[in-house]
Amino acid sequence: MHLGTTDPIHCGCARDSTGDLMPVDEALNRAIGAAGRITAAESVPLVEATGRILAAPVSASRPMPPFDASAMDGYALRSAALAGDGPWEIPVAGRVRAGDPPGPLPAGAALRILTGAPLPLGADAVVPQEQVGARGAGLRLRFRPRPGAHVRRAGSDLAEGVELLPAGRLIGPREVGALAAAGLRRVEVRRRLEVALLRTGSELTPPGAPLDPGRIWDSNGATLLSLLSLPWIRLQDRGTVPDDPAELRRALAAAAEGADLVVTTGGVSVGDEDHLPRAVTEAGGRILVNSVAMKPGKPLTFGQIGRASWIGLPGNPVAAFVGWTVVGARIAEAMAGLAGTGPRKAIVRSAAPAAHRPGRCEFRLARLVGYDAHGVQVAELLPGETSYRVALLARADGLALIPAEAGAVPEGTLLEFLPF
Ligand code: AMP
Ligand code: MG
């Protein structure tokens, strides 16, 4: 498709144009390289496998479909038995329905056949009922059918022994259907990733509880509980912890004890009360990534505490959301054994010019406003300095990506877009 004259800006997130901030791709590679992988598997009934991750490849134990069958309602016959030029008049010697066992085609005759019925032995074609004239107990055929016409061959969807789905595949409705068609009643999936979630900040109050002056309702807790409510995750809600170094140390150590991954929000920035990186190292952990060249989400931190990985998301709600969506989720997916191809991206055209300074890869809240003349979706980029604006986040449609090295973005630029 012709996209017009504006070239898409390619993602510059891998480029080191960022001083002491780590490029997003490098942060991801480092974290994914250091994080553990789940190898244990468990068997679950197929109907409970939705949203789980396939632990081993599955191959077809029989041809799919399992036998030659009619693709139409019509008449099964042997095309090679039609002598000379038509039209031919052929007796109809019986009827086969879906579910009947395959039987022989009587010599010199056709059989009435319904969609999904096994092709009679000796028949090689099906003539749809719309293409024949009825004639007493027979049919009148004017054209010679092509051998194989309207027949679904055994194994034409997938041959016996061929891989149906690879290990690491996220099981959705299509996968469940294909596995059922291959005859599986149970399926081997990876065990769930154990994720412990805690929020840090002395200002946090549970939503709905009375709000003392100077305090705020904890919105990150709800957002992350919602983001992490996935069938391949077992979530441990560890509540909120105040900005107290000793309490944080204790809470982190306890969370790391029973989890593959600890996710925290807040306390990773450079303020006086941002104690988390220290608490991690004092709890015996190590930090592998701090400060990523992304906006929002710069303070995002990754480390290890004992055998658990730790993702420290910033406290600002939009930064926490973007940090999880862009970085955290990729790490969790890799740990859980998901062989994904990364997030779904689209290309959008910016509706208006937008300011950007080179340095950090910017994930800008954006709203989809329509389509251009070529059918490309057009996005309005929302204001940039908004990492606290949880209400704006709820009203956006996705994140438009402004590459790290880009300057101001002219109107009409093609940008990568991560839909929500
Ligand atoms: P921090 O990263 O701890 O410096 O927090 C940055 C900003 O995000 C501050 O204004 C915090 O009050 C706010 N914040 C931190 N945690 C949460 C949370 N769980 N829910 C909503 N806002 C938060
Ligand atoms: Mg804080």
Ligand that comes closest to the CA of residue 207: 1
Share of the chain above pLDDT 90, in %: 91
Pocket-testing residue among 197, 216, 318, ligand 1, by greatest number of atoms within 8 A of Cβ: 216
The predicted structure's pLDDT at residue 5: 42
Cα-to-centroid distance, 12 and ligand 1 (Å): 29
Give me the pLDDT at residue 392, please. 96
* Least confident stretch, 1-10, 282-291, 354-363: 1-10
Mean pLDDT along residues 14-21: 60
Query: Helices (DSSP H) in 88-231: which residue ranges?
Result: 173-181, 219-227
pLDDT reported for residue 240: 98
Q: Is the CB of 269 inside a 6 Å radius of any atom of ligand 1?
A: yes
Can you tell me the mean pLDDT for 340-369?
Answer: 94
Is 188's pLDDT higher than 80?
yes
Q: What does the pLDDT read at residue 338?
A: 97
Is residue 265 within 6 Å of ligand 1 at its C-beta?
yes
Percentage, residues of the chain above pLDDT 70: 95
Pair 379, 335: CB distance under 8 Å: no
- Pocket lining: 316 vs ligand 1, CB cutoff 6 Å: yes
Weakest-pLDDT range from 10-14, 73-77, 201-205, 373-377: 10-14
Residue 19 predicted with pLDDT over 70: no
Express each pLDDT in 305-316 by its tens digit: 999 999 999 999
- How far, in Å, CA of 67 to CA of 69, rounded? 6
Residue 3 reports pLDDT greater than 70? no
Quick one: three-class SS letters along 4-57?
Answer: CCCCECCCCCCCCCCCCCECHHHHHHHHHHHCCCCCCEEEEEHHHCCCCEECCC
CA separation for the pair 109, 75 (Å, rounded): 10
Does the pLDDT at position 197 exceed 80? yes
75 CA to centre of ligand 2 in angstroms = 75
Closest residue to atom 17 of ligand 1, CA basis: 315
| Best mutation site among 265, 274, 318 for ligand 1 pocket (most ligand atoms within 8 Å of CB) | 265
237 pairs with which residues across the strands?
Answer: 197
Residue 203, ligand 1, Cβ within 6 A: yes
Q: Which atom of ligand 1 is nearest to the CA of 314?
A: 2
Q: Is it the case that residue 343 has pLDDT exceeding 90?
A: no
Task: Give the whole-angstrom CA distance, residue 10 versus residue 413.
Answer: 11
Q: Which ligand does the CA of 220 lie closest to?
A: 1
Identify the residue with better confidence: 342 or 407.
407
- Ligand 1 atom nearest to 265, measured from its CA: 16
Residue 15 above 90 pLDDT? no
Biggest CA–CA distance in the chain, Å, is 97
Q: Whose alpha carbon is nearest atom 7 of ligand 1? A: 316
Please give the number of the atom of ligand 1 that sits closest to the Cα of 199.
19
Look up residue 68 and give its amino acid.
D
The per-residue pLDDT for 31 is 98
Ligand 1 within 6 A of 323 CB? Answer: no
Q: What is the pTM of this model?
A: 0.93
Asked whether residue 101 carries a pLDDT value surpassing 60, the answer given is: yes
Q: Which of 219, 263, 316, 318 to mutate to test the pocket of ligand 1 (most atoms within 8 A of CB)?
A: 316
* Å from CA of 221 to ligand 1 middle: 11
The pLDDT of residue 8 is 41
267 lines ligand 1 (CB under 6 A): yes
DSSP character string of 247-276:
HHHHHHHHHHHT-SEEEEES--SSSTT--H
What is the reported pLDDT for 332? 98
For residue 4, the model assigns a pLDDT of: 41
Cα–Cα dist 344/328, whole Å: 16
Burial class (CB in 10 A: 0-12, 13-18, 19+), 373: exposed
User: Is pLDDT of 148 > 60?
Assistant: yes
C-alpha–C-alpha distance, residues 18 and 7, integer Å:
24
Span 364-419, pLDDT tens digits: 999 999 999 999 999 999 998 889 999 999 999 999 999 999 999 999 999 999 99
Ligand nearest to the Cα of 242, by number? 2
Task: Tell me how many helices (H) and strands (E) the chain has.
Answer: 8, 26
Q: Which atom of ligand 1 is nearest to the CA of 316?
A: 8
CA distances from 285 to 175, 226, 303, 416 (A): 39, 27, 7, 36
CA distances 139 to 89, 110, 411, Å, are 6, 8, 67
